[in-house]
Each structure stands twice: as structure tokens, then as C-alpha cells.
Structure 1
């Protein structure tokens, strides 16, 4: 299957993408991984992206599109893929369609993870990370540490990332509504969108997603 995953920040796209890719035996391709791989390997596109990022500027669409197309050329993506974070806007969506059309392919579905805005803010703003080990993540409501401000695993100090502050989360949501949400309407015109609720335990959301994707197939 060839799938695009969309949803606001805090919808659990990364978590669901990992489960879905494993269940469907297709590679999970995230924008973050694309950028890291190209920068670490010193590719021309990676160097261009790094120059923009170091200057605090957005990486232009053509650079991101180039990275995505290069990744889709890899053998493991020949029989399908799950895209997470790409396309981020309508020009990128049109570029992806054009690329697939050149290959005689098309998307099978666009999975839209729906989460109320207040829940997004609660999920992200309540997150606390261990200063000693960023893999130790807690939440003020969903996964409270035994001692406030102290990591259960190693005793390190828990802190809120600057990006997770409520005002920053709302800014990220504004960007999502303005730039990314329009691709849902774009894909609805192609009858590709399936929308599911991303509320509830992770396995339940995954099951919901798998059932929705089976209907697209």
C-alpha cells in the first residue's frame, strides 16, 4: 500500500506510523528521518537543507520534494510506503502526485488522524522530558512520575521543552491549519481520505486505522 499519514501535532502520527508500517510490511518514511539521513550523509540536498536550517529558515519545498523522491526510489519502497510529515502542503502533494504518475502509480489512501485541539494542547504541554535521557518521557496527566519533577528511571530532572509550552503548541497548530490541513481537502477531491479518531489507547487507534485502510484497498 502507498499511504500518506496526516494529522495535527500531538495526534500520535509517529507512534501510529511505526505500528502501521510494521503491520503492512512497508517502510515508514518520515520527514525528520529524510532530513537527518541527507544531512548525516552529506548529500547535496542535505547540505542545502542544513544551510537553510542553520540560518533559521524553512527548507524550500523543492529540497524536501527532492529528498522524498530520492527515498521513494529505494528498493524497499517499491512495493509500498507510509509517508509521515510529507507532503506538508499542497505544492508538495501535487509534486508527489506528479512523481507517482510518472511511475504509473497512485496513492491507496490518506489516513487523517483526528484529535480535538484542546486534547492536542493537553498532550503536548503536559509532556516532561528527563534531562539525563530524552527517551524517558512523562506526562502530568497520563504518565505522572512518582515524585514531581524527578525521573522514575534515573532520578534526573524533568523539564518541559520550549517547543512544548502551550503558546508554542498553539502556534504549531495555527501553522498546521494554515499549511497542512488544506491537503486533506485536496485529497478528498481524489476520494482518498479516511478519517479516524486518534483518541484512546494506542492499540485501539492502530486497529481503527488498519480497518479504515482495508476499506481503501
Structure 2
């Protein structure tokens, strides 16, 4: 059993690496962003709150996202472990998660904000599956077409420069302190913590992650 958190600013490549690691370890990849997008589709009572919050580049309330994440990670398919992307984003969320299900490893993808803006502006998604591509760094085999289904790819509504900058401000306020909290947890030997430069190639980062997992945890 292995439980992993992918940590990093929006656009740092967490989703791409989480997908690759999920296939390698054969455990589910749980995206907080995708959970919220699914909640928008199925819950009339909360969809406007979620949409307005996301479209402003802000974080939803702690108690709201904590409830949704805990519900997902307690499903049967997560019994052998999981990879979390986009959660926790605050120290309070991390502490709440740890009380329910302790985490084994945090993988932090560190990024320069100019690189992040370039990445997000070029990002393409296959909405039904959550698969992500990039026009430059990870293009689909056919222009704007999903490799597996042949469906047309799209851009997320919150992948706009103004919204990206707001999301990065939120990251600075809430998530940067979380990085130090996780580093302290590592010092106390409560978790494993790996920090990588996200500007490197996808394959190079993936190899370093897998080598680390095999050496430290598996």
C-alpha cells in the first residue's frame, strides 16, 4: 500500500506525472480539480459556488473540499493506495487528511511562475477522461485530437492569464507554507519528501520519481 501527494503550483505538471505514476503503481489517481468539475455536473445546490470560485482562481472552502476528498479516498479502489493531485493545498487540509488516512510520500514539483503561465496557456484537455496535453511540450498525435478516443480536445475555462495569476497568488498564500510543513514532517520521519525541478522533461522527471519510490517506499 502506498499513498502519495503530488504537490506544486497549478501548471507544474502534477497531473501528467500523477497519471504516469498511477499506471506504474496500478493505484488510482485522484484529481481534486476533476472531483470539483464532476460535482458541478451532478450537484445543482453547489455548482454555482464551485464555478464562481474556480473561475476567480480561488480555493473552495476547506470543509467543502475535505469532505469530497475523504469520500473519494475511502472507496474500495483506494484500499491499496492512491495518488492525490491538487489536495491538500493548505496546512489545515493536510492535518485533516492525516487524521483520517496518513500519507507515505509527498512529491513536490517546483516551478518558475513564467514557465507555469506558458504551460497553462498551451494546455489542452480531454474533458471526459481528464487526460491532458500541451501544444508544445506534450502534443497529441493529431492536432487538437485525443490520442485514445479521437475526440476533440478543449481548453479549460480557468486557463486564462488573469485567472492563472490569481491561482498563483492563492498558491503563494496558502500552499507555500504547506511545503515547509511537509519538509518538517520529513525531518520528523513521518513522511518521505521528494522535490524536483518541473522544467525538466516529462520522462526525466518520471524516471526520478519511480527510482525514488522503488528505493524509498516499495
TM-score range, shorter chain: 0.7 to 0.9
Quick check: which has more Rg, 1 or 2?
Answer: 1
Match of 1:185 among 180, 183, 187: 180
For residues 103-154 of structure 1, what are the alpha-carbon distances to aligned partners after superposition, in whole Å with 9 as ceiling and x for unaligned? xxx21110001122222223234x2769xxxx99664x6589xxxxxx677x
| Aligned residue number for residue 60 of structure 1 | 61
- CA deviation string 1:176-210 (max 9, x = no partner): 11112221111111103210122232121111111
Q: Do the aligned partners of 1:31 and 1:86 also contact (CA within 8 Å) in 2?
A: yes
Distance 2:167 2:195 in 1: 21
List per-residue Cα deviations over 1:16-74 (Å, max 9, x = no partner): 1110011111100111222234444x4xxx455324225x2453211211111111111
Counterpart Cα distance in 2 of 1:33 and 1:160:
14
Counterparts of residues 85-100 of structure 1 (less than 5 Å):
85-100=86-101
Q: Which has the higher contact order (CA 8 A, sep 6+)?
A: 2
Runs (5+) with no aligned partner, structure 1 = 101-105, 145-150, 154-158
Unaligned runs of 5+ in 2: 54-58, 126-130, 146-153
Question: In the superposition, relative to structure 1, how do residues 35 and 166 fare at CA in structure 2: closer, same or farther (>3 Å)?
Answer: closer
TM-score (norm 2): 0.74
CA contact (8 A) 2:124 2:144 kept: no
**8 Å contact 1:112–1:195 — kept in the other structure?**
yes
1:115 aligns with 2:106: no
CA contact (8 A) 2:120 2:159 kept: yes
- The alignment yields a C-alpha RMSD, in angstroms, of 3.2
Indicate the residue corresponding to 1:50 in structure 2.
47
